[in-house]
Structure 1
Amino acid sequence: MNNVGLLYVGAVLLVNGLMLLGRVPPRSAGALNLFVGALQCLTPTVLIVQAGGDADAILAASGLYLFGFTYLYVGVANLAGLEPEGVGWFSLFVAGCAVVYAGLSFWRNGDPVFGVIWLAWALLWTLFFLVLGLGRQELTRFTGWAVVLLSQPTCTVPAFLAMTGAYRSNTGTGLLAAAVAAALIGLAALLASRSRDTSPATARAAATA
């Protein structure tokens, strides 16, 4: 069930990245954030209830709330016209937790691919903190491109692989995932440098994650 949620996280991240790039109006993106946020809160709740006290199952489900709360927060903020600083500072908390989950994936779960994915998410949520929490508007376009480019490789692709039984995680695939992530981040920086700057007003309105 968590892979079903991950599939739709790929969709909302893509839309939110386009929102930062000025391609999707914030209010238009708000509804999808609410839908996916609700799904990402319902899913871990069901998984925890069904876990029967299994600590490992509860730990695996716990991280989903980070994203569920993010998207609900973004959806409400966009539709209500709230200032984005709250989303930004919450994103700093998410980024810190993502680093912990990355460490668990590497050294506790033996899943280096998802360790890389968690680190990629930590980077994205750190960027959300810088842009939305601290008002670093010069990073807006880089953040938007990074979200667009990383949304599918870190969410949609592993979700489909897991649901079809094709997901593999070992040292080799982990290194490949790290190389792909690094290349996409470099591409995001290149695309941002070639794009015109987003206006401060637009960037502040685009509360995303």
Structure 2
Amino acid sequence: MGDVGLLYVGAVLFMNGLMLLGLVEARAAAIFNLFVGGLQVVTPTYLIIAAGGGAKEILSASGLYLFAFTYLYVGIGLLGGFDTTGVGYFSLFVAIMALGYSYANFQILGDPPFGVIWLYWSFLWFLFFLLLGLKRDRLTIYVGGVTAIEGWVTGAIPAYLTLTGFWKSWNQDLVAIVLAVFGVVVFAALWPLTRRRAAPAQ
């Protein structure tokens, strides 16, 4: 069930990335944030209840609430026209906690690819903090690009591959290395590209 939720995390990140890039209207994106936020409350709650007290299962499911509350916060904020400072500083909390979940995936859950994916999420939510909490508006295009890419790389593709049974058939250490290299190269290359695109508006 968690993989189904992850699929829609990918979808909402892609949608929010397009919103930041100016391709999707904010109130339209807000509705989808509420849909996925609601799903991401139900999913970990079910997984925790079904875990029967299993510590590792509860640990794995607990991090999903970080995303649930982000999307609900964003959706309500966009519909209500609220200031973004609150969701920005909550994003800082998520970014810090994501480092802990990355460590847990590497050291406790034995899942190196998701250890790397949690690092992706820590980076992304820190960017949300800079953009929404500290109002660094000049980062909008870069954050939009990173968000849209992460929607596929950390959400939709891993979820689909897990649901179809392909994910675990590959060497997990190699998958983690490929993900890490991809993230560093792509997000570093994206920075100058988005800065050039943003330059005329400055």
Q: Give your verdict on TM over 0.5.
A: yes
Which letter does structure 2 place at the counterpart of 1:59?
Answer: L
2:179 to 170, 177, 180: 177
**Bigger Cα displacement from structure 2, 107-116 vs 163-172:** 163-172
**Shift in Å at residue 112 of structure 1?**
1.2
Partner of 1:111 in structure 2? Answer: 111
Partner of 2:50 in structure 1? Answer: 50
Kept in 2: contact 1:137–1:198 (CA 8 A): no
CA RMSD of aligned residues (A): 1.6
Partner of 2:120 in structure 1? Answer: 120
> Equivalences for 1:1-209 in 2 at 5 Å?
1-168=1-168, 170-196=172-198
Kept in 2: contact 1:3–1:163 (CA 8 A): yes
Q: Distance in 1 between matches of 2:132 and 2:36?
A: 20
Residues 54-100 of structure 1, C-alpha deviations (whole Å, 9 max, x = no match): 11111111000000010000000001111111110000011111000
**Shift in Å at residue 199 of structure 1?**
7.0
Kept in 1: contact 2:56–2:109 (CA 8 A): no
**Bigger Cα displacement from structure 2, 21-30 vs 168-177:** 168-177
**Shift in Å at residue 198 of structure 1?**
9.6
Which letter does structure 1 place at the counterpart of 2:46?
Answer: V
Q: Distance in 1 between matches of 2:200 and 2:95?
A: 24
Query: For residues 38 and 133 of structure 1, do their structure 2 counterparts lie closer, same or farther at Cα, with a shift above 3 Å needed?
Result: same
Find the residue that maps to 1:194 and give its secondary structure.
Answer: helix
Which letter does structure 2 place at the counterpart of 1:134?
Answer: L
**Structure 2: 5+ residue stretches without partners:** none
Q: Distance in 1 between matches of 2:47 and 2:149?
A: 29
Aligned length: 200
Q: Calculate the TM-score normalised by the size of structure 1.
A: 0.91
Which letter does structure 1 place at the counterpart of 2:95?
Answer: A
Kindly indicate which of the two structures has a greater share of residues assigned to helix: 2
Kept in 2: contact 1:88–1:133 (CA 8 A): yes
Partner of 1:204 in structure 2? Answer: none
**Bigger Cα displacement from structure 2, 61-70 vs 184-193:** 184-193
Residues 116-137 of structure 1, C-alpha deviations (whole Å, 9 max, x = no match): 1000000000000001001111
Q: Distance in 2 between matches of 1:45 and 1:141?
A: 34
Q: Identity of counterpart residues, as a percentage?
A: 50
**Structure 1: 5+ residue stretches without partners:** 201-209
Which letter does structure 2 place at the counterpart of 1:164?
Answer: T
